[in-house]
Amino acid sequence: MRIAYLHSGSVPSVYANGVHVMRMCDAFADAGHDIELYAVPGTARTDDLHAYYGTRNRFPVHTVPLPSAPVLGPLLRARRVRGALRRRAAPDVLYGRDPYALLAAAGTAPVVYETHLLWPDRAVRGIERLLLRHRALTRVVFVSQALADDYRRAFPQLRARTDVDLVTASDCADPVPPGGPVATLPGRPEALAVGYVGHLYPGRGTDVILALAERLPAVDFHLVGGTDQDRSHWQSRSSHPNVFFHGHHPPAALHPYYRAFDIVLAPYQTKVGCAGGFGDISRWVSPMKLFEYMAHGRAIIASDLPVLREVLTDGVDCLLRAPDDVAAWADAVTHLAADASARQALGATARHRLTTRYTWRARVDLVLPGRTPATVAGQP
């Protein structure tokens, strides 16, 4: 199948949406599909886009700049994407997260729209309404069931369209073979290494991690990721000798860090910012780092949020704690620090769930039209 993936973000970049899109394109290629990606030119420096993301396949990536014109920029870019598509062989499916480009090119092929948040911008909502009514639309993919439920309420026309599948498909990760290099971490060799991988936006729990470091001076805490600006912000507020900021690393270079951690944290708060630190995606978030944690068999402590309970089970594949209860998080770290077998059991169960349910390759079969969805939004 020829698939054109239309993305409104940039690659390469420091943002998670670029990782998600490249992982999905890689999985489409693994499944034998002819995939081409259309994205905004990258904001991160690299000589090799595919090496930066660690993809197995070298699929074509076409960059279409976003004009700086206010309001009209996405519309102008969408027309350019449509023109680029028409200069190539027609795809069998238009897939993507860019409602502007999907709508502009909807006459080219059947459309699958994937969304990760209920857009607050009224202009985007208007484009979505047109897209969700378009006869070319065959399937809408939501990254969490909570998001699917909110879309059904916000767009009643979705409930009336019996010809469109509504599919819930969480983020995923690739299975990780045993072994491999382990990062050499700064700090004390004998200290327990607690890690966090991801951005440092508001609501990601960086303040919780710093509070844990103050309560647990015998434990070393490592934060991997974040823009230079966000990292400087938090470093200026941390005087703890057991806290280490490692900055941003290419997605392909993160595996050694995961392997070096004894415990990993996902301290999402009740309000979670997305790229750029704006908005609130706490109700719908499906964090990729959570699945990377699972793939590496790490012992996870995560926030007890309804959307994370769609994937995690307290005491089975993780420990869940109230997002802002630092004392409860400290107790969880202390408990796992003292019980290596508990860490191993949680990590092993998490890895098993990842490999049997939450792989990118399995997600491809779930989201493509013509396949019977294993998880249909709003249904058991």
pLDDT of 279 reads 57
Listing from the earlier edge strand, what are the strands of the sheet with 34-41?
61-63, 34-41, 2-11, 93-96, 111-115, 137-142, 165-168
Share of the chain above pLDDT 90, in %: 81
- CB-based burial of residue 129 (10 Å sphere; 0-12 exposed, 13-18 middle, 19+ buried)? middle
Per-residue pLDDT, 376: 41
Which carries the bigger pLDDT value, residue 256 or residue 282?
A: 256
Residue 29 pLDDT > 60, yes or no? Answer: yes
Report pLDDT digits (tens) over 69-107.
878 999 999 999 999 999 999 999 999 999 999 999 998
Alpha helices (H) in the chain, listed in sequence order:
16-30, 49-53, 72-86, 99-104, 122-133, 145-154, 157-160, 206-215, 228-235, 255-260, 288-295, 326-337, 340-357, 360-367
- What is the arithmetic mean of pLDDT over 1-15? 95
| Coil vs helix vs strand at 195 | strand
Q: How many CA atoms lie within 13 A of 266 on its CB side?
A: 26
pLDDT tens digits, 106-151: 989 999 999 999 988 899 999 999 999 999 999 999 999 999 999 9
- The full set of domains in the chain, from first to last, is 2-172+359-367 (3.40.50.2000), 193-357 (3.40.50.2000)
Is 152 buried (19+), middle (13-18) or exposed (0-12) by CB count in 10 A?
middle
pLDDT at 380 (0 to 100): 30
Task: With beta carbons less than 8 A apart as the criterion, state whether 171 and 20 touch.
Answer: yes
pLDDT for residue 69 = 85
Instruction: Please determine, for residue 46, whether its predicted confidence score (pLDDT) is greater than 80.
Output: yes
Average pLDDT over residues 139-164: 93
Residues 6+ apart with CB under 8 A from 367: 95, 112, 114, 139, 141, 167, 169, 373
Q: DSSP character for 308?
A: G
Look at residues 269, 243, 337 and name the one whose alpha carbon lies nearest to residue 299: 337
Mean pLDDT over all residues of the chain? 92
Helices 288-295 and 340-357, packing angle to 10 deg: 110
Query: Does pLDDT of 275 surpass 80?
Result: no
Name the residue among 380, 371, 376, 310 with its Cα closest to residue 140: 376
Strands, sheet with 319-321, edge to edge from the N-terminal-most edge strand? 243-247, 220-224, 193-197, 263-266, 299-303, 319-321
The pLDDT value recorded for residue 237 is: 86
> How far, in Å, CA of 173 to CA of 23, rounded?
8
If you average pLDDT over residues 164-173, what whole number do you get?
Answer: 96
pLDDT in tens, 318-352: 999 999 999 999 999 999 999 999 999 999 999 99
Closest CA relative to residue 22, chosen from 44, 151, 1, 161:
44
Tokens for 169?
């498909």
Strand, coil or helix: what is 90? coil
Whether the ω angle into residue 12 lies within 30 degrees of 0, i.e. cis, is yes
pLDDT, position 374: 46
On the question of pLDDT at 276 being above 60, the answer is: no
Strand partners, 111: 94, 137
Confidence of residue 305 (pLDDT cuts 50, 70, 90): very high
**Helices of type H across 105-227:** 122-133, 145-154, 157-160, 206-215
Q: Which of 296, 266, 260, 267 is nearest to 186 (CA)?
A: 260
- Does residue 182 carry a pLDDT above 60? yes
Q: Cα-flanking dihedrals φ and ψ of residue 55, to 5°?
A: -75, 155
Find out whether 4 and 38 touch, Cβ atoms under 8 Å: yes
Do residues 303 and 325 lie in contact, with contact meaning Cβ atoms separated by under 8 Å? Answer: no
Model confidence at 177, pLDDT cuts 50, 70, 90, reads confident
How many Cα atoms within 13 Å fall on the side-chain side of residue 257? Answer: 26
Taking residues 281-294, what's their average pLDDT?
88
User: Range with the lowest mean pLDDT among 219-228, 255-264, 279-288, 304-313?
Assistant: 279-288
